[in-house]
Amino acid sequence: MYDAITVGGDLDWQDKLNEHNKPFFDLCDGLFVNYTWKEKYPRDSAATAGDRKYDVYMGIDVFGRNTFGGGQWNTNVALDLLKKDDVSTAIFAPGWIYETKQQPDFQTAQNRWWGLVEKSWDVLRSYPKRLPFYSDFDQGHGYQVSSEGLQVSGDPWNNISCQSFQPMLKYTGDEVQPPVRTSINFKDEPYNGGDCVTVQGSLKQNAIFSEQLFNVGLSMEDGYVHLFYSVNAEANSDLGLSLDFSSRNKENTSILIAEDIATFSRKKQHRLYSSYVQSDKVEPHAPDNQNWVIYRATVQSSASYTLIGINIVCTLKTSGKMNSEADEDGSSEEDANRSWPYHASLGHISIRNMDKNTQFPSAESWVTEGKYISWSNNSNTSKLLSLKISWKLNTSHQASFMKYNIYVEKLIADSNAKVSRSFLGVATVEAFYVSDLQVPDEVTSLKFIIQACGCDGSRQGLKECPKLFLVPVE
């Protein structure tokens, strides 16, 4: 409810919760307060709301139109006051960053602005309490789309429902330039979705750089867990992960996971880790991909421990044999203190119980249907197709998947011709709308593929996925 709805049915802005709009507040879930409130109004609203003070959302206009604190780069002034007065907030028009072309570019300005929000109010994190845990760091937008290391679309896109769990990366400010920086990378080709996490800068030969990605609270079970992760690194850059555990008696332990254990264990900071687990390369689902390398590690777990932290760990690769004049990492003291370029990316993380992998129903277990099919002429050589694709299981088993990738193959009469497969988009429900799909006249049939994606990041093989076939009209 908006605060302008008052007793008597008049629309009259109140800028706070008071006796004129409280009768309606008592009948609804919450109150959105106009963004022209004054300094004392949040405290007055909280007093009027009583136990429901968090159902009062004080408005802040990012454009700064008569809003407390001025909005824009001072939005945090209003946030600080609202946090002190213990009420909620409704932020109006954060698109100000994009619409006013804040410098130096949208992504940098976006990170800076939301960094102010985080500094003021922190971030609410709703991670799962039990395995599986999966993140490909997708923010729900990008300039391209990748699937398991291969680009499936080169077009800019925006689909907020595709957001994955986000890492806890801090905005360091425009003037702070640390030697090594961890950031969300939209420019390089991602492993999944539209972005990846990239660490770049310069490192000393004997140094280990580590940054926390997730502050979780995942309950473990007795047995073993699988950890999968993907890396795209330059030749001299090594990247691993570390897992922080806490026991019931508050004892902490940390496990470093990497392919080349020796590279990390020879560095001065290696004593930060209680133990090491070697990871092995996994044959990729897409053998044509030469950039991303997928690793798998098996970690012993215990029900008495909770996974509390997931960290990215980086160092430079070492070469040469150890000698008496060398530092711990096998290099001379002069080389050990010298800085070298570092660049590596992390594409995804998946942690799952060994005996609880996602089971995908067979293609025959699904019923697919095309509705609202519409054909129109586009030119002398092609048509346009619009339709709704829906799918559901024909068994009592209920589907529980994170999302569905939708592809289409345009088949022609020449059986020797290479099949053209296109990525159409992502659905989080069991339906997908296709609008104005261009179909050349030589296409004899269309095959729509619905690829289920598990909560652990696994994906059904395209050959085993349910499909919908459609023949173009004459």
Give the tokens for residue 25: 């507040």
Q: What is the pLDDT of residue 12?
A: 87
Tally the domains of the chain: 3
* pLDDT single digits (tens) 99-145: 999 999 988 899 899 989 989 998 777 888 999 999 999 999 999 99
User: The domain spanning residue 212 has which CATH number?
Assistant: 2.60.120.260
Q: What is the pLDDT of residue 170?
A: 75
Domain interval for residue 96: 22-121
What are residue 181's DSSP bridge partners? 200
User: The domain spanning residue 369 has which CATH number?
Assistant: 2.60.40.10
* Those residues with Cβ within 8 angstroms of residue 51's Cβ, 6 or more apart along the chain or in another chain: none
Q: Is 13 a domain residue?
A: no
Give the tokens for residue 314: 């980086």
* pLDDT single digits (tens) 183-202: 999 999 999 999 999 999 99
What are residue 158's DSSP bridge partners? 141
Q: What is the pLDDT of residue 324?
A: 35
- Orientation of helix 75-85 relative to helix 41-49, angle to 10°: 30
* pLDDT single digits (tens) 209-259: 999 999 999 999 999 999 999 999 999 999 999 999 999 988 899 999 999
Q: Is 128 a domain residue?
A: no
Q: What is the pLDDT of residue 320?
A: 45
Place of tokens 């699937």: 147
Q: How far apart are CA 260 and CA 239, in angstroms?
A: 9
Indicate the residue among 320, 353, 386 that finishes a domain: 353
Q: Is 225 a domain residue?
A: yes
- Average pLDDT (335-362) is 89
Same domain membership, residue 145 and residue 59: no
- Is the pLDDT at 326 greater than 50, yes or no? no
Same domain membership, residue 378 and residue 263: no
* pLDDT single digits (tens) 54-75: 999 999 999 999 999 999 999 9
Q: Is 402 a domain residue?
A: yes
Q: Is 17 a domain residue?
A: no
Q: What is the pLDDT of residue 152?
A: 94
* Residue 428 vs residues 176, 177, 319, 364, 451: alpha-carbon distances, Å: 39, 39, 47, 21, 11
Asked whether the beta carbons of 121 and 86 are under 8 A apart, the reply is: no
Same domain membership, residue 397 and residue 309: no
Q: Is 9 a domain residue?
A: no
Q: Is 219 a domain residue?
A: yes
3-class DSSP state of 110:
helix
Q: How far apart are CA 42 and CA 40, in angstroms?
A: 6
Indicate the residue among 330, 353, 376 that finishes a domain: 353
Same domain membership, residue 321 and residue 294: yes
Q: Is 81 a domain residue?
A: yes
Q: What is the pLDDT of residue 347?
A: 98
- Average pLDDT (267-286) is 84
Q: What is the pLDDT of residue 266?
A: 87
Same domain membership, residue 391 and residue 348: no
Same domain membership, residue 232 and residue 324: yes
Same domain membership, residue 374 and residue 308: no
Same domain membership, residue 51 and residue 114: yes
Same domain membership, residue 113 and residue 204: no
Q: What is the pLDDT of residue 321?
A: 42
Same domain membership, residue 423 and residue 286: no
Same domain membership, residue 416 and residue 305: no
Indicate the residue among 308, 332, 353 that finishes a domain: 353
Same domain membership, residue 317 and residue 266: yes
